[in-house]
Amino acid sequence: MTQHDERDASALHTPVLLQRCLELLAPAASQEGAVVVDATLGMGGHSEALLEAHPGLTLIGLDRDTEALRLAGNRLARFGERAILVHAVYDEIAEAVRSAGFNRIDGVLFDLGVSSLQLDEAERGFAYAQDAPLDMRMDQSSGETAAEVLAVAPEGRLRAIFERYGEEPLAARYARAIIAARAETPIERSGQLVDILQQATPAAVRDQRHPAKRVFQALRIEVNSELSVLERAIPAALDLLALNGRAVIMAYQSLEDRLVKRELAQRSRSTAPAGLPVELPEHRPEFRLLTRGAELADEQERAQNPRAIPVRLRAAERVRGVE
């Protein structure tokens, strides 16, 4: 039993860019019989608002975190069969939609990264500011923990994880320090890892930023295969969208946002060969971008909800490709 068992999910979580998400999804979600997938259900804040705003909407909510599904389930119970919750990673979106009895969807929302629930529960090990077991699994029912990665990964793999997923300039130094430390004692708690990183960091760098921030991000991405999952999930979600269907995607770090930007740019570009006098219908873009670049939270939301500070929102609408 967790500390949240007797608490209301709505009190634990403030959805990021809620009104903007509702505005972007409204033309698709307001159609009678519309189906929208919340691919990152979390504690159900965005889903609740969508279901309230559109009485004819069916919402399919996905999450790999069983505790999030339980809390969101309580929150969305009043919507009955209009809310279909599925224990799944979001690259399993096509299977989840088919299992719910649909072939196409009208909208999809991704709110990427680690959830408020995971950050706030110290025992999950996501936060470097609190000492806890180094777990970091979004789905605690399966997979390798961060402690297990640190225990068995060779130095080269650790360095690559920190470089690729954390963009950490001191990756090699940190990997060496972890290998040396684990030879003395297993690294099983976040506090231990923070101490190792602090000791391995030059004083000048320690004064500029917390040494653990990028390493913890990298470990979390590695443990949950976040980037490889996202690379599969975005194309799968876009393929499911019906004509005039809309996708809204919020990323919180540059690696995620680059993947999203690349996929949306590719789908919203003409495939006509250079010099072709007339663009044939099959070469027209599949999607139309709904945002100019990435949209940010305004100053008021950043002040009220610090987790909105790094958000980058992108959105697109299907304009060709399916009947």
Q: Pick out the residues of the known binding site for S-adenosyl-L-methionine.
A: 44-46, 63, 90, 111, 118
Annotated binding residues: 44-46, 63, 90, 111, 118
Q: Tell how strand 312-318 and strand 287-289 pair up.
A: antiparallel
Amino acid at the residue 240? L
Nearest one of 319, 293, 297 to 306, comparing CA atoms = 297
Cα(121)–Cα(66) distance, integer angstroms: 14
- Secondary structure E strands in the chain: 35-38, 58-63, 83-87, 105-111, 241-251, 287-289, 312-318
CA distance 252 to 52: 26
Gyration radius from the chain CA atoms = 21
| Close Cβ partners of 117 (under 8 Å, ≥ 6 residues apart) | 4, 12, 13, 42, 43, 65, 67, 68, 71
Angle between helices 45-53 and 66-76 (to 10 degrees): 30
CA distance 261 to 313: 10
> What's the CA gap between 182 and 175, in Å, rounded?
11
Residue with the two structure tokens 């990427």: 112
Q: Which two tokens stand for residue 122?
A: 């110290």
What SS3 class is residue 69? helix
Distance, in Å, from the CA atom of 236 to the CA atom of 90, rounded to the nearest integer, reads 9
Rounded CA separation 246/316 (Å) = 6
Return the half-sphere exposure (C-beta side, CA atoms, 13 A cut-off) of residue 286.
18
β-strand pairing of 287-289 with 83-87: unpaired
